[in-house]
Structure 1
Amino acid sequence: MESAQKLSITVTPAMARMIREKVENGSFGSVSEVIHAALRAFQREEEEHAERIASIRARVKASLADTRPAISSDEAIARIKNKISELAKNNLT
């Protein structure tokens, strides 16, 4: 385990109140435990954000590499309307 380092932080009165309440109501054993939990949550959030960004970049890269021909929005709308018409006809018969 890494050796601990002592840091001094400044928080708003509302944050200090929340931290004290968490310790006083027994959710955490000490102020340090509250801060540790908050930092672990922050680290998870950062990792999840990095994963989302990597996923988005991979999808953009795959999309740019896609060799299928692009169609115009008018063509896409026409295809959707035709499909809806076909489905409606099939449901009426």
Structure 2
Amino acid sequence: MSAIGHLTVKLPPAMADQVQAWVDTGDFADAEGVIRDALLAYGRPEDRHSDPSVEEWLRTKVVAAYDAHKRDPSRAVPLDQVVARLKTERMARGE
């Protein structure tokens, strides 16, 4: 078996254009690099949806926040206030 496999992949035009755009901007040396990084980011099937820390966060923090909002919707912060606060925090960090 060869150490490097060879595949021919057909992509929809929009995806092929995006791959080429990343190559053109210099983010990747070639299309192979784009696909390799995409596959590495996608990970193994058993890792995709079973991060225990994410599952724990969803079960505890997110559910608790949702339940609190349902009990008292007046505690919700309007979106424009959240955006303004995030902008202020980013500016303070020099971003």
Q: TM-score, normalised by structure 2?
A: 0.48
Mark the structure with the bigger radius of gyration. 1
